[in-house]
């Protein structure tokens, strides 16, 4: 079919277009009435590419994988495909299709699209929701009680979902489900293990425990040094060489978990296992397969092994699967499940493949760079305008991450890119939190940074404000101790009194209209500061004078060149340290949190060393494993016009390497 023929076929179903009209003529005749193109500047169907239309018209009798590059408009396409099939569906049928997502936000977006295109408010008998809610609602909850021998309460057989992070201190009822085997840490400290911390892995046929950030199979736990010591000591104590055998170990964890399940409790992980086991029942799996003859999964790269297996069991009984996503964007917050994507990659090879290769999000240089990171051979076209030509992909060298942020803000100012439409992307939450109160030229203009931070609600900002004020003001007191004491001068005997002194100075500065006027050049601010600060410091010094071993002549101090301005001809950079719902503030996100987002520009900050987990530009994003490189790929595909990597200071060979990937040196712009 030609593109026009495909447009007409879709329009005939979605908006009942007259066959004598073109899509554009139809749009002009209906744009002001309640049709799918209302409030749009063009026809919503004719704007679709050939490949998008091919998927919308693809067969629902053949399992398919739609490989969608970043920015390909796949959510819009899934919404239109859903609406197209809903309108074609037998209105008398009690069976329907399921459109599955991974988050409630994604569900809302697809529901909205399906509603726009189908003009239906009720989607019955179809289901649009998360994959977890689908598994719970149609498999685990209706049939799970029989699988785990739960007898129910007053005829209610629904299972009670329990969070894996729930603790027995605030939920003492959990103590009934304490495992007889404790967790023994490296320091020998024992911690109770409860049933909600025990999981069964169907893939590996083994139990696992998860305590805080520790995730171990019970086989691994059995073999660790501290457990082996405990077993050896116990066998010696009870004079029994068979005490704490492997089978005993396994059965104790199994018994603890089964008691939990039999009483009608289950974690999210348990619900998947229950559903997986239920679908071994031929009658049940056929019933669910008939109920949902078509299942579309958005962001299929996020499927776990067990979720794929649950869907595959339905497929084996007749359900058609449509997977939509990009395997190269398969990244996980936890390393222990990162290998799931390998199974997904193998599974989709069984499905018919269609592609979306137009990237409407990014300009071509950003597309070229991201493709090179993952060795993608497909021709991906960057549709967005290439505003900055060869400067669309830059690298910035830094001595510390805060310096990189400072340089980034200057580049945004240079290119006139809004901070509110930009994002700083990091791999670890630790670095994200570190930057929350450091996102300006803080080390260069300590008091300006300090006063701005003092007005923030974030406790970390207050602490950092005192630190910066102490570092600057201590210079006028003859030197300082250390950061931990807020740079209390060596001749002042009370760190506490010094901190109160700093607090009082900052309070006075923050109500001084001249010192909080940042809408000007640095030089003007420093000029006012030299006039205003002496009286503020003298006024508050009387409170700490009794703790000072020196007699200070402030008139002499303030008569010399005591406070020299920097960057006097540059505009003051406004601090955007807090990322709480502040529309004017630049955002900071982890790589995982940035998935699905679009920004005018991004700064992707590399860790300083390769010791980080998937966070180093060279060791991970360029030369790392597939999982490591996917992290760099996802982080580098969020920007429209400008994408920057911030990297630690480079040697000659590393500069040649990064520039070989298409990066230009952003330090020349700074």
Binding residues for ATP: 68-75
**DSSP, res 321:** E
Give the residue ranges of the annotated binding site.
68-75
Are the C-beta atoms of residues 468 and 461 closer than 8 Å to each other? no
Sign of the dihedral through C-alpha 148, 154, 155, 157 = negative
Are the C-beta atoms of residues 87 and 115 closer than 8 Å to each other? no
**Other residues' Cβ atoms within 10 Å of the Cβ of residue 404:** 25
Give the residue from 455, 473, 490 showing the smallest Cα distance to 534: 473
Give the residue from 450, 544, 439 showing the smallest Cα distance to 495: 544
Give the residue from 180, 206, 207 showing the smallest Cα distance to 193: 180
Residue written as token pair 């080390």 = 443
Write the DSSP string, 533-550.
HHHHHHHHHTTTGGGBSS
Residue 424, token pair as written in the block: 């700083």
Bridge partners of residue 321, in order along the sequence: 295
Residue 617, token pair as written in the block: 């530009």
Q: What is the C-alpha separation between 505 and 500, in angstroms, rounded?
A: 9
Are the C-beta atoms of residues 476 and 420 closer than 8 Å to each other? no
**DSSP, res 103:** S
- With H, G, I as helix, E, B as strand and everything else as coil, classify residue 649: coil
Are the C-beta atoms of residues 650 and 659 closer than 8 Å to each other? no
**Other residues' Cβ atoms within 10 Å of the Cβ of residue 476:** 16
Q: What is the C-alpha separation between 668 and 670, in angstroms, rounded?
A: 6
Give the residue from 262, 245, 307 showing the smallest Cα distance to 152: 262
Give the residue from 381, 402, 387, 428 showing the smallest Cα distance to 643: 387
Q: What is the C-alpha separation between 450 and 506, in angstroms, rounded?
A: 8
CA trace torsion 456, 458, 460, 463 (10° rounding): 50
Q: What is the C-alpha separation between 509 and 516, in angstroms, rounded?
A: 7
Residue 537, token pair as written in the block: 């410091």
**H or E element, residue 352:** strand 352-356
Q: What is the C-alpha separation between 485 and 464, in angstroms, rounded?
A: 12
Q: What is the C-alpha separation between 643 and 412, in angstroms, rounded?
A: 11
**DSSP, res 441:** S
Distance of CA 591 to the CA centre of its chain: 5
Q: What is the C-alpha separation between 360 and 384, in angstroms, rounded?
A: 6
Are the C-beta atoms of residues 640 and 599 closer than 8 Å to each other? yes
Q: What is the C-alpha separation between 326 and 32, in angstroms, rounded?
A: 37
């Amino acid at each position: 079919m030609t593109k026009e023929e495909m447009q007409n076929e879709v329009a005939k179903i979605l908006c009942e277009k007259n066959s004598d009209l073109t899509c554009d003529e139809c749009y002009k005749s209906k744009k002001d009435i309640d049709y799918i193109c209302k409030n749009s500047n063009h026809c919503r169907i004719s704007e679709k590419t050939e490949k998008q239309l091919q998927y919308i018209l693809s067969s629902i009798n053949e399992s398919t994988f739609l490989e969608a590059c970043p920015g390909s408009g796949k959510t819009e396409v899934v919404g239109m495909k859903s609406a197209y099939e809903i309108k074609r569906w037998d209105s008398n049928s009690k069976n329907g299709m399921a459109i599955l997502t991974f988050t409630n936000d994604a569900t809302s977006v697809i529901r909205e699209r399906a509603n726009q295109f189908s003009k239906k408010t009720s989607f019955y008998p179809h289901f649009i929701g998360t994959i977890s809610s689908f598994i719970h609602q149609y498999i685990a909850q209706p049939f799970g009680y029989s699988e785990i021998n739960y007898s129910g309460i007053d005829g209610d057989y629904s299972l009670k979902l329990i969070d894996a992070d729930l603790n027995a201190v605030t939920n003492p009822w959990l103590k009934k489900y304490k495992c007889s085997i404790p967790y023994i840490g490296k320091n020998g400290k024992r911690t109770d293990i409860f049933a909600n911390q025990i999981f069964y892995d169907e893939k590996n046929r083994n139990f696992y425990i998860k305590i805080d950030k520790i995730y171990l199979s019970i086989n691994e736990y059995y073999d660790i040094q501290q457990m082996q010591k405990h077993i050896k000591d116990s066998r010696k104590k009870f004079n029994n060489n068979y005490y704490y055998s492997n089978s005993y170990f396994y059965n104790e964890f199994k018994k603890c978990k089964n008691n939990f399940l039999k009483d009608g409790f289950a974690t999210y992980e348990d619900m998947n296992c229950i559903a997986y086991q239920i679908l071994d029942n031929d009658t049940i799996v056929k019933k669910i397969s008939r109920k949902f003859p078509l299942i579309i999964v958005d962001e299929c790269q996020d499927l776990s092994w067990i979720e794929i297996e649950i869907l595959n069991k339905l497929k084996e009984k007749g359900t058609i699967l449509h997977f939509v996503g990009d395997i190269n964007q398969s990244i996980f917050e936890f390393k222990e499940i990162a290998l799931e994507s390998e199974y997904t990659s193998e599974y989709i090879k069984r499905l018919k493949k269609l592609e979306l290769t137009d990237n409407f999000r990014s300009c071509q240089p950003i597309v070229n760079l991201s493709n090179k990171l993952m060795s993608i051979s497909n021709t991906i076209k960057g549709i967005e305008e290439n505003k900055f030509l060869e400067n669309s992909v830059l690298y910035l060298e830094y001595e510390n991450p805060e310096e990189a942020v400072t340089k980034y803000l200057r580049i945004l100012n240079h290119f006139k890119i809004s901070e509110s439409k930009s994002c700083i992307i990091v791999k670890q939450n630790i670095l994200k939190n570190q930057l929350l109160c450091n996102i300006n030229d803080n080390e260069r203009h300590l008091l300006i940074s300090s006063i701005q931070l003092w007005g923030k609600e974030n406790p970390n900002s207050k602490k950092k404000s005192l630190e910066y004020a102490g570092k600057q003001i201590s210079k006028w007191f003859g030197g300082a101790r250390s950061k931990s004491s807020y740079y209390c001068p060596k001749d002042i005997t009370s760190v506490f009194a010094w901190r109160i002194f700093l607090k009082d100075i900052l309070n006075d500065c923050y109500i001084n209209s001249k010192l909080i006027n940042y809408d000007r050049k640095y030089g003007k601010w420093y000029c006012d500061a030299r006039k205003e600060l002496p009286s503020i410091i003298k006024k508050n010094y009387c409170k700490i004078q009794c703790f000072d071993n020196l007699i200070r002549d402030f008139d002499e101090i303030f008569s010399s060149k005591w406070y020299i301005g920097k960057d006097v001809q540059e505009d003051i950079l406004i601090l955007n340290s807090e990322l709480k719902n502040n529309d004017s503030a630049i955002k900071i996100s982890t790589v995982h949190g940035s998935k699905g987002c679009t920004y005018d520009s991004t700064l992707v900050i590399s860790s300083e060393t390769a010791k980080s987990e998937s966070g180093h530009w060279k060791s991970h994003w360029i030369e790392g494993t597939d999982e490591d490189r996917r992290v760099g790929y996802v982080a580098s595909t969020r920007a429209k016009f400008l994408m920057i990597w911030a990297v630690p200071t480079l040697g000659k060979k590393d500069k040649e390497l990064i520039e070989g990937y298409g990066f230009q040196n952003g330090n020349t712009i700074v």
